[in-house]
Amino acid sequence: MESVITEGKSVEEAVNAGLLKMGLKKEEVEIEVLEEGSKGFLGLVNVKSARVKITKKKVEEPIIENPEQKVTEILDMILRTIDVQYKLDIEKDGKQIRVFIKSMEEGLIIGKRGRNIDAIQHIVNRIMNRGLGEAKFKIVIDTNGRYREKKEKSLREMVSKLSQRVMEIHKPITIIPLNPYERRIVHIAARDIKTVDVESIGEGFYKKMVFKRKIKN
């Protein structure tokens, strides 16, 4: 809702009604008085309500002049706490930035089942996109050994095998919890399979996924 027109016994009352309706503060809007209103004769004859137009102010979204440098600074801050030697290679394509971390301690950066690299990617995206609104970047953190690429291939193969298995045993199969990035790959891969449905269950960052036979209409 970008603007509303409200009425009241006074301009102040009309403004307050508009602010309440939009859920905004006075400093967040522009106010145009359409009618001052009048009490009329003895408050009984020719009484006119005050009318105002409340418009939400446009907020200038911040611009990051050098997003690659910003990502580098954020990653430097995070990786220093892990105490590993590393080098960053960055590729930018529009709003997507892919960062490859080259390190002799790649296993430590990835962590068990990718938990560390997932956490790093989540933190970088949160910090990088703070206050950007619609101008958000998508930051993908990978390793020089192409962990993400290998993981995607592995997940696609898993979808194919589990789909076949579900059709063989005629029972749903539930897999271990996956992060949003992994679940998205699974859902995309499952679109091409006409016999099986896949759904996410549970709450939180990591969710289990269930493979089950597609119900025919």
Strands (E), the chain: 3-8, 29-35, 50-56, 87-93, 96-102, 138-143, 173-178, 196-201, 207-213
Q: What is the pLDDT of the chain when averaged over all its residues?
A: 86
Compare 20 and 61 and report the one with higher pLDDT: 20
d(CA 98, CA 138): 8
Is 119 in the same domain as 161?
no
Range of the domain at 183: 150-213
Tokens of 55: 């418009």
d(CA 97, CA 157): 26
Please identify, among 91, 111, 145, the residue that sits at the C-terminal boundary of a domain: 145
pLDDT for residue 125: 92
Is 164 in the same domain as 96?
no
pLDDT tens digits, one per residue of 57-108: 876 666 777 889 999 999 999 998 888 899 999 999 888 899 999 999 999 9
Quote the number of domains for the chain: 3
Q: What is the pTM of this model?
A: 0.62
pLDDT tens digits, one per residue of 119-133: 999 999 998 888 776
Q: Is 158 contained in some domain?
A: yes
Provide mean pLDDT across the span 8-36: 86
* 3-state SS, residue 201: strand
CATH number of the domain residue 97 falls in = 3.30.300.20
CATH number of the domain residue 209 falls in = 3.30.1370.50
Please identify, among 127, 145, 163, the residue that sits at the C-terminal boundary of a domain: 145
